Amino acid sequence: MTNEEFRKYAHELVDWMADYMDNVEDYPVLPDVKPGDILKTLADKPPQEGESFDKIFKDFKEQIMPGMTHWESPNFMAYFPANKSYPSILGEMLMSTLGAQCMIWLTSPAAAELEEHVMNWMRDILGLPDSFTGVIQDTASTATLCALLTAREKYSNFKINERGFENERFTIYTSEQIHSSIDKAVKIAGIGESSLRKVPVDDAFAMRADALESTILEDIKHGYQPICVVSAIGTTSTTAIDPIKTISDICIKYKLWHHVDAAYAGIALALPEMRWMAEGVQLADSFVTNPHKWMFTNFDCTAYFVKDPVNLVNTFSITPDYLKTSVDHEVKNYRDWGVPLGRRFRALKLWFVIREIGVNGIREKLQKHIDLGKWLSIQVNKHNKFELLAPVVLNTVCFRYINSEIPDLDVFNEKIMNTVNKTGQLFFTQTKLKGRFSLRLAFGNTNLEQKHVENAWKLIQEKALELEQDYTT
């Protein structure tokens, strides 16, 4: 491709991109494909000679697009969103044009300094304490792994990095409702799944601090060494809020690392009236939240904050001769702040987003999403054939259909979900709460409006009624 051709195609693609975003609601949210459908349309062998970009782009539209799930549709209410915005896409475009690999300060001084700067902005936006220092990671999973590795090193006096495990009997604590990334991190960190204690939760699905303390005491009695508690501001199932302050106090009492997983809901701390969720966070050792979920920033972009960067850097630093520079003592070399050496220039898109939308603009969107959660929870409560299965703290609503004439409500609710999702008009997912199948809708999409939530609620009721008639006739 020549520079002239690049210019021509780039313009063409930008037009396509703007049209796509304008019309994203016209696509079925979930594609109507079976496993292997897309694969069988693709050419068996790579081309020996280069192909024209016209042809490639045509194939993208005809072969790839039909198999895409439309995450950016406001009718996507599954999982948690991976929302984006125009300034974020523009940031990604520049980032990929510069193609910088930002492993150390010297490999792009502006990237390192902007990262430090936007992380300070993030800290202020979320009302986190000044004593926290931020670094961008690819995902919350990686940030949580960093937290566990740092805790592991701190409590082994940095010996496990040196000689591996000897006879440490470390234990880690989290709640039954925690995200699977914690299970994964204890495996990767070499601590082992059997050393992860899942503390019971209360009726609101938040960790029971009394049970945490008794589990810790029990372990100490049996010769284990507790090292870390992972709490949640916003669990994945229901956005339950663990009692951060009480957990911090327990961590201080027993000298444990406290990592706060606020991957999704942490962004809501931008709203001063939601800061009660993080009361006591200044006592924690680390905190993670994802601008790539609910802050209009393209995947991937995770904000990881630590109280003491020295422990983090001591855990990860490597300085082979070929990476040494004369300014190492004056700058942040972010390769030492996480797992990978190579790093993308993620700070750029986050800077664009914060500046273009503004803190008030971000707050308005978050508030709207929270209001929509409240609105649906009121509708569900008013309806005699639906019930909420968890408190609605933010913008995630867990509920189910109920009818005493239907023998298996789990099967029936799953049917409702599958039938609705098959229409292509809406896509949402499920969770299991106290053993019961729950419909689960999350409202974080950038362009979500009241009408989308009203349509979703109407569609769910309609399909429930249709399916109910199958049962009762």
Return the half-sphere exposure (C-beta side, CA atoms, 13 A cut-off) of residue 457: 23
Task: In whole angstroms, give the CA distance from residue 471 to residue 473.
Answer: 6
Q: Is 234 left (phi over 0), alpha (psi -120 to 50) or beta?
A: left
The verdict on 431 binding ligand PLP (CB under 6 A) reads no
The radius of gyration of the chain from alpha carbons, rounded to an integer in Å, stands at 24
Nearer to ligand PLP by Cβ, of 28 and 134: the residue is 134
Percentages helix, strand, coil for the chain, rounded to the nearest 5? 50, 15, 35
**What residues contact 132, with CB distance under 8 A and at least 6 apart?**
123, 287, 305, 306, 307
Binding span for ligand PLP by CB under 6 A among 21-29, 233-241, 304-312, 379-387: 233-241
The verdict on 236 binding ligand PLP (CB under 6 A) reads yes
The verdict on 238 binding ligand PLP (CB under 6 A) reads no
Nearer to ligand PLP by Cβ, of 261 and 336: the residue is 261
Binding span for ligand PLP by CB under 6 A among 223-231, 257-265, 278-286, 344-352: 257-265
The verdict on 232 binding ligand PLP (CB under 6 A) reads yes
The verdict on 311 binding ligand PLP (CB under 6 A) reads no
Nearer to ligand PLP by Cβ, of 191 and 464: the residue is 191
Binders of ligand PLP among residues 125 to 154 (CB under 6 A) are: 139-141
Cβ atoms of residues 246 and 222 within 8 Å: no
User: Minimal CA–CA distance to 225: which of 152, 324, 293, 284?
Assistant: 152
Return the half-sphere exposure (C-beta side, CA atoms, 13 A cut-off) of residue 426: 26
Cβ atoms of residues 318 and 336 within 8 Å: yes
Tokens describing residue 276: 């009660």
Among the listed residues 73, 150, 195, 290, the single contact to ligand PLP using CB under 6 A: 290
Among the listed residues 92, 153, 261, 285, the single contact to ligand PLP using CB under 6 A: 261
Least separation in angstroms between CB 280 and ligand PLP:
18
Which amino acid, 225?
Answer: Q
Q: How big is the site for ligand PLP, counted in residues (CB under 6 A)?
A: 15
The verdict on 264 binding ligand PLP (CB under 6 A) reads yes
Task: In whole angstroms, give the CA distance from residue 319 to residue 171.
Answer: 31
The verdict on 219 binding ligand PLP (CB under 6 A) reads no
Least separation in angstroms between CB 290 and ligand PLP:
5
Cβ atoms of residues 351 and 282 within 8 Å: no
Least separation in angstroms between CB 398 and ligand PLP:
14
Nearer to ligand PLP by Cβ, of 57 and 79: the residue is 79
Q: Which residues bind ligand PLP (CB under 6 A)?
A: 80, 139-141, 179, 181, 232, 234-236, 261, 263-264, 290, 302
